[in-house]
Chain A
Amino acid sequence: MPDQLEHLPRLTHLLPCREAQIKTLLLLLGEPEHYSYPSIFIYGHRASGKSHVTLTLLKELKMPHVVVNCVECVSLGLLFEHVLLSLFGSSHTSLPRGPSLSDFVRLYRQLCSEDPAKQTRYIVLDHAELLRDMSANLLPGFLRLQELVEDNVTVIFLSEIVWDKFRPNTGCFEPLLLHFPDYSKVELQQILAQDSCPSYSPELYSSYISILLGVFYSVCRDLRELRHLAALNFPKFCEPLEKGEAKESDAHKLWRNIEPHLKKAMQTVYLREVSSVQWEEQQQKEEKEVGELRGLSAYTHVELPYYSKFLLIAAYLASYNPARTDRRFFLKNHGRIKKTNFLKKHEKTSNHLLGPKPFPLDRLLAIFYSVVDSRVAPTASIFSQISSLVTLQLLTQVGHDDQLDSPKYKCAVSLGFVRAIARTVSFDIVRYLYDFL
């Protein structure tokens, strides 16, 4: 058994269900004074333990390392400074303003010659997919940093995106690829069951976790999300026990109690309609029914001026009706024409599936005058209401080439929203929609 594997039992205890990956990494990193591979690319889905495993490993083995989150590094200077500062201590770093990769390499070599490496240094770049957008030579530079600075340094990239989407067109040094697979249901159960509540037995918590996974596993395999949900709903699960209505062995009773609650949680707290704090508050108040609280998406009602409502209705009709049918819907004396006569081949699919179509201002105003019963003068206020609807993002302007002369718009609200608006002005919008004839 090689030396570096002596830490394996300790590390697998710290990091459950990642034994194979830890073993590979340990073998790759090798002895501290050995040269490691210049760059390692670790990829896997969100919350598959990429950064946790890497960081724990580096920390436990006490290797000199620096962790850089690329999201934080809006400029190259920040990235370079952070790396140099953490690797070489607080010695003054004299990076010029707006440094380039060559400045970084020069300074690194300079500091490195003062403080030669006794062990491999590690640079961990989290969210490495952002490196692609920074500077064209940054990613290739980091991939062969070992060669450039002539130091025992290894760069570890962590990303959710596969390596194929990283490769620069001019070629680069290929890193070693290491995949972190998703946790299976059994592994999730094992990991989640670890943080059990001290006042109850671990078996109870484990059965709670299996109920939770039974509900949520089909939609969510994200460990962090599941852990959050488990912590949030556990008090509700324990309620019958505290009241003395059930014993720990009454698995069926507990399941009956918690299952509808968890299903409701999927629609509310999982979608962040209801915040976790509200959810906890609600659980404490017994009398209030879960889900009675209105979520974020229930607040879609918007107070609009009278004519703005009609303008929005007219815009919706203009966006989702074909222009040919306008005569029939909005003129007084149209002949009775069946829908089948109108139907063209490509219009068999619903307009609501294809999304809104752009329409010119003239058509909007024509429909507007037709749906408003009273006479409305085309005053400045009508036109300014159109532009304020654009500002409110209820309409969007298409093709920004011409602001004044025949601008085109699109309606950007849903059918539910516009129906609610139409109800307030007692206008039956469904009768005017071509799709619902």
Chain B
Amino acid sequence: TPRHATPGIPSRSLPARKPGNVLEEARARLHVSSVPDSLPCREQEFQDIYSFVESKIVGGNGGCMYISGVPGTGKTATVHEVIRCLQHASEQDELPSFRFIEINGMKMTDPHQAYVQILQKLTNQKATADHAAALLEKRFSNPAPQKETTVLLVDELDLLWTKKQNVMYNLFDWPTRRYARLVVLAIANTMDLPERIMINRVASRLGLTRMSFQPYSFKQLQQIITSRLNQVKAFEEDAVQLVSRKVAALSGDARRCLDICRRATEICEHSSSRQPGSGLVGMAHVMEALDEMFSSSYISAIRCASTQEQLFLRAVIAEFRRLGLEEATFQQVFVQHRALCRMEGLQPISVSEGLAVCQRLGTSRILLLEPSRLDLLLRVRLNVSQDDVLYALKED
């Protein structure tokens, strides 16, 4: 059989362009991938993780640390920063040398792949999952002279969950072995993950060294943006403050914050090409970007729907009111639809057309529908609140 290799992205032939103006420069700096050298507002966490790992490396023993926090609070970036500092220190001979290995639960097709990846990164050996587990078990439980400390970062820990939890158990059991010299840093999103999904013997091995990353407050977000922009004068102060306040109120996600800022620079660039202004990102641009990011698309979808589709939504709501339920069959709604058509002075549509209208709304997830083979008996529910639908329909 012919082998079809996975397609690849063509490699770049020209070097990437240098940023031309202030806004492009700002955009490059605000990009999520350009991790800055210093992480503002995470000094305390940095210190804690640094001293934990450092003490383990110096002492030559193993340990576990569980790091939690909502997405976009800088967990992975902080740990990477710690490792970078430690590696720098060991190059300067201030610390004994250590190895750093990183695995990510999201990048694995199966939790047992974790063994394979760890073994490959440790010894460049390839093995099946079972064999790799046995080899790692042997490696971590037997004494060996001059073994250096291994620091293992496990990102997205919750995806390594299996029914028997043997992967998690092993990951947290190896550091407790006498000769293992393994430091495990586990990262996940929820604080109570050990209590919720781990059985007791796994949770107890994980230990009590926990750290939770709080969501950024608006001051911190503001500081992050200004530190990233540094010398580049692209934003008005108020604009930055508005973005950080909005994001902090919703999630405190730094990535989201940077995305909005970048979108705002794009909007600014677009508008200044039409009417040359100050060239600074102002309140209006940020407001527009925030609207784009946070507003729900359902309302605009309903507003742009065809006359019959809007009429059908009105029929759905009328039928819900009549029944006093949040669910009706297509048959019931269609009777209402017919009546509405007559009232509006439109030609009543056939059942087939009515079903087509209903299923088109179902396809865009404004309605929740059952499989279409039930035709007249398929139950219709709204996926948006009734108030939203009424608000969207009232405009004209």
Is B1 a contact partner of A165 (Cβ separation < 8 A)? Answer: no
- The CA-CA distance from A133 to B79 in the complex, in Å, is 50
CB of A169 closer than 8 Å to a CB of B: yes
Hey, which chain B residues are within 8 Å of A352, CB to CB?
A: none
Hey, which chain B residues are within 8 Å of A170, CB to CB?
A: 363
- A 117-132 to B, binary, CB cutoff 8 A, 1 in contact else 0: 0000000000000001
Within 8 A of A (CB), among B336-376: 351-352, 355-356, 359-360, 362-363, 369, 371-373, 375
Hey, which chain B residues are within 8 Å of A168, CB to CB?
A: 372
Is B4 a contact partner of A166 (Cβ separation < 8 A)? Answer: no
Cβ of B312 to closest chain A Cβ, rounded Å: 15
Is A167 a contact partner of B372 (Cβ separation < 8 A)? Answer: yes
Known: A94-B2, A106-B4, A162-B352. A169 touches B359 (CB 8 A): yes
Name A169's contact: one of B1, B4, B362 (CB within 8 Å).
B362
CB-nearest residue of chain B to A166? B372
Known: A132-B373, A162-B352. A167 touches B1 (CB 8 A): no
- The CA-CA distance from A279 to B160 in the complex, in Å, is 71
CB of A399 closer than 8 Å to a CB of B: no
Cβ of A281 to closest chain B Cβ, rounded Å: 44
- The CA-CA distance from A106 to B4 in the complex, in Å, is 10
Is A164 a contact partner of B369 (Cβ separation < 8 A)? Answer: no
Known: A164-B352, A164-B355, A164-B356. A169 touches B2 (CB 8 A): no
Hey, which chain A residues are within 8 Å of B375, CB to CB?
A: 164-165
Cβ of A370 to closest chain B Cβ, rounded Å: 45
Known: A132-B373, A162-B352. A167 touches B2 (CB 8 A): no
- The CA-CA distance from A115 to B189 in the complex, in Å, is 54
Hey, which chain A residues are within 8 Å of B1, CB to CB?
A: 94, 96
Hey, which chain B residues are within 8 Å of A96, CB to CB?
A: 1
- The CA-CA distance from A165 to B374 in the complex, in Å, is 7
Place the interface of chain B in its size category: 10 to 19
- The CA-CA distance from A255 to B287 in the complex, in Å, is 89
Hey, which chain B residues are within 8 Å of A166, CB to CB?
A: 372-373
- The CA-CA distance from A96 to B362 in the complex, in Å, is 35
- The CA-CA distance from A168 to B369 in the complex, in Å, is 11
CB of A171 closer than 8 Å to a CB of B: yes
Is B352 a contact partner of A169 (Cβ separation < 8 A)? Answer: no
- The CA-CA distance from A147 to B375 in the complex, in Å, is 29
Known: A94-B1, A94-B2, A96-B1. A164 touches B363 (CB 8 A): no
Hey, which chain B residues are within 8 Å of A164, CB to CB?
A: 351-352, 355-356, 372, 375
- A 166-178 to B, binary, CB cutoff 8 A, 1 in contact else 0: 1111110000000
- B 260-303 to A, binary, CB cutoff 8 A, 1 in contact else 0: 00000000000000000000000000000000000000000000
Hey, which chain B residues are within 8 Å of A163, CB to CB?
A: 352
Hey, which chain A residues are within 8 Å of B362, CB to CB?
A: 169
- The CA-CA distance from A165 to B377 in the complex, in Å, is 11
Name A165's contact: one of B360, B369, B373 (CB within 8 Å).
B373
CB-nearest residue of chain A to B363? A171
Known: A94-B1, A94-B2, A106-B4. A169 touches B356 (CB 8 A): no
Is A169 a contact partner of B363 (Cβ separation < 8 A)? Answer: yes
- The CA-CA distance from A325 to B355 in the complex, in Å, is 49
CB-nearest residue of chain A to B353? A164
Cβ of B367 to closest chain A Cβ, rounded Å: 10
CB-nearest residue of chain B to A107? B2
- The CA-CA distance from A170 to B364 in the complex, in Å, is 8
- The CA-CA distance from A163 to B371 in the complex, in Å, is 13
Is A169 a contact partner of B360 (Cβ separation < 8 A)? Answer: no
Known: A132-B373, A165-B372, A165-B373. A171 touches B4 (CB 8 A): no
Residue among B2, B351, B356, B373 with max Cβ neighbours from chain A (10 Å): B373
Cβ of B357 to closest chain A Cβ, rounded Å: 11
Hey, which chain A residues are within 8 Å of B352, CB to CB?
A: 162-164
Is A169 a contact partner of B355 (Cβ separation < 8 A)? Answer: no
- The CA-CA distance from A262 to B369 in the complex, in Å, is 50
Within 8 A of B (CB), among A82-97: 94, 96
Cβ of B198 to closest chain A Cβ, rounded Å: 35
Cβ of B352 to closest chain A Cβ, rounded Å: 5
- The CA-CA distance from A94 to B4 in the complex, in Å, is 13
Cβ of B396 to closest chain A Cβ, rounded Å: 26
Hey, which chain B residues are within 8 Å of A132, CB to CB?
A: 373
- The CA-CA distance from A411 to B109 in the complex, in Å, is 53
Hey, which chain A residues are within 8 Å of B356, CB to CB?
A: 164, 167
- The CA-CA distance from A106 to B2 in the complex, in Å, is 11
- The CA-CA distance from A162 to B376 in the complex, in Å, is 13
Which A residues fall within an 8 A CB radius of B?
Answer: 94, 96, 106, 132, 162-171
- Give me 13 A-to-B residue pairs in the complex whose CB atoms sit less than 8 angstroms apart, sorted by A's number: A96-B1, A106-B4, A132-B373, A163-B352, A164-B355, A164-B356, A164-B375, A166-B373, A167-B356, A169-B363, A169-B371, A169-B372, A170-B363
> 8 smallest A-B Cβ distances: which pairs?
A171-B363, A164-B355, A165-B373, A167-B372, A167-B359, A94-B1, A164-B352, A164-B375
Given contacts A162-B352, A169-B359, A169-B362, 11 further A-B contacts (CB under 8 A): A94-B1, A94-B2, A106-B4, A132-B373, A164-B355, A164-B356, A166-B373, A167-B356, A168-B372, A170-B363, A171-B359
